[in-house]
Every structure is written in C-alpha cells, then in structure tokens.
Amino acid sequence: MATNVMEKLQDRWDGLAPREQGLMLLLAATAVVFLLVFFARSIAGGLDHIDEGNGDMRKTLEILADYRVTHAQRQASANQVEIPSEAVKLQSYLENIANDVGITIPGFKPQSPTTRAGVVKSSTRIDLRGLAVGELGEFMEKVESGSPVVIIESLDIRRQFSNKDKLDVNMVVTTYAREKESDEDDEDGRNGDEEDG
C-alpha cells in the first residue's frame, strides 16, 4: 500500500512542469523554515518562562535566607524579649497580615496552650493554598517581624500538582505570654478566646 501511494506521488511529480516543480520545492523549503522558526520561538518562550520561575525561586531563597538569619538573631536575643502578660490574638494578627499581603486564610486550627516555667505558649495551625513564592515570603516576613513574641514554629511547603508555580503551605504560628496569676483570670482568658474563635 505504501509503495502504491509513493508511485502515485511520483507520477504526479513527473506530471508537473519544471516551473511547477520549482514552486513546489520553494513551498516545501518555506514550510521547513517556518517550522524551524516556530520551534525556535517556542523553545525561547519556554526558556523565558523557566527563567521567570528561576527568578521567583531566587527571590524566595533570598527571603528564606533572610528569614533564617532573622530567626537566628531572634533566638540569640530571646532572653532580651519581654514576654507580655496578654497573648497576641493570633487569628486577628494573622488575618491583618494576610489582608496586607492580599491572601486569604481559609481557617484556623488553634492548638492546646501549654505552660512551662511561667510562660504560656499558644499556637494555631493554618493552611494556605495557591500562594505565589513572593506572597509566601512576604507573609512569613510580616508574621515574624510584626511582634517579637510571634514566631513560625513549623512550616511545610508543597508545590501544587496542577500548577507548579503555586504553593500549598501548612504552618504553625506560636505566641507567648506570661502565665496569669490567679485561676479567675485564667477562666476569663479562656472565655475570651472562645468568643474570638
């Protein structure tokens, strides 16, 4: 069957005048050049897209490096931070930062507070979906620079399966406060937290 098709094409080619054969060769050469230019532009466009992604990654790595240095400095000066008597209200604190950055926090999962050496540690877990790298870096920087007693205790970052440029993030944000003196004050604090949540 393939030889049959080739024979028909050969017969048609032979049936063309020399001028028509030249035009057909020119058309074929033009098509090849067009395809080469098209593929070259596609490759260049893909490389530009990769370069943009690499630029975002470089920016994120710089933010994370700054974050690591800032975090180390905060750990070194932890003894100098004055622990307040009232804990930072994490939900409103984080919502304000998210609004500034232009992202939304779909929900908060408060963790049980723990007390050690007269200091109450309060934490909340948040999930952020579909963040750009720059948004995550800006959010993290504002969380830790907004208050000396608020830190990001744990951080889990994953790329979205459907969109490799977007990140899904799970983090635990923690704040510290001095333990209240009496049981009555402690009950008032718990009732206030329940009303906030």
Q: Write out pLDDT tens, residues 44-55.
A: 777 777 777 777
Q: Identify the CATH number of the domain defined by range 83-196.
A: 3.30.70.60
pLDDT band at 195 (very low <50, low <70, confident <90, very high): very low
Of the two residues 69 and 117, the one the predictor is more confident about is: 117
Residue 77 pLDDT exceeds 50: yes
Contacts of 113 (CB under 8 A, 6+ apart): 120, 121, 122, 123
% of residues, the chain, pLDDT over 90: 19
Structure confidence by residue, pLDDT tens digits, 79-126? 567 778 888 899 999 999 999 999 989 989 999 998 888 888 999 999
The reported pLDDT for the residue numbered 57 is 78
5, two tokens? 């098709």
The reported pLDDT for the residue numbered 97 is 92
pLDDT band at 136 (very low <50, low <70, confident <90, very high): confident
Mean pLDDT of all residues belonging to the chain:
82
Task: Tell me the residue ranges of DSSP E strands in the chain.
Answer: 108-110, 114-116, 119-131, 150-159, 167-178
pLDDT band at 33 (very low <50, low <70, confident <90, very high): very high
56, two tokens? 């975002």
The reported pLDDT for the residue numbered 96 is 93
Q: Say how far apart CA 188 and CA 178 lie, in whole Å.
A: 15
Mode of pairing for the β-strands spanning 167-178 and 108-110: unpaired
Distance between terminal CA atoms of the chain? Answer: 76
State whether the Cα torsion 126-129-132-44 is positive or negative.
positive
The reported pLDDT for the residue numbered 190 is 52
Q: Say how far apart CA 119 and CA 149 lie, in whole Å.
A: 11
Task: Tell me the residue ranges of DSSP E strands in 45-197.
Answer: 108-110, 114-116, 119-131, 150-159, 167-178
Residue 67 pLDDT exceeds 80: no
The reported pLDDT for the residue numbered 74 is 65
User: Domain ranges in the chain?
Assistant: 1-80, 83-196
pTM: predicted TM-score of the whole model, two decimal places: 0.56
Rounded average pLDDT over 10-22: 85
